[in-house]
Copies of this chain bind each other. A is one copy, B any other.
Amino acid sequence: MTSDFDDLVLALEQFKEERDWGQFHTPKNLALAICGEAGELASELQWVGPEELSDNTVDRAMEEAADVLLYLISFSRSVNRDLLAAAFAKLEKNGRNYPVDKSRGTSAKYNQL
């Protein structure tokens, strides 16, 4: 049985194959695309105060967040890695770098705890 995330990965793969877009999906091109979509997400929020976040703004921001995710999946595919596994591994590493007792309530970087 595939999970919902696997379904997304498969749907995206099919989307790309139908359009023969694999030729454009080098790691470097996809890194540019990730930065491009992350930048669009930033643009949606850049002048907006926290109390002014309308549903429309959130809708647009989430479309950009979705684009970032889709390109992250394509990037992982382009280097033959598993994005979800990488995220679990990174979260575990973060847990070692940021022990609860030292990092609670502070935004300091781990090398300054």
Give the number of chain A interface residues (Cβ < 8 Å): 70
Number of copies: 4
Report which of B11, B23, B28, B41 forms a contact with A88, defined as CB distance below 8 A: B11
A residues 10-39 touching B (CB-CB < 8 Å): 11-12, 15, 18-21, 23-24, 26-29, 31-39
Report which of B24, B36, B47 forms a contact with A39, defined as CB distance below 8 A: B36
CB nearest neighbor in B for A7: B88
Please give the residue numbers on chain A whose beta carbons come within 8 Å of chain B beta carbons, in ascending order: 3-6, 8, 11-12, 15, 18-21, 23-24, 26-29, 31-48, 50, 53, 58, 61-63, 65-70, 72, 75-76, 79, 81, 83-84, 86-91, 93-95, 98, 100, 103-105, 107
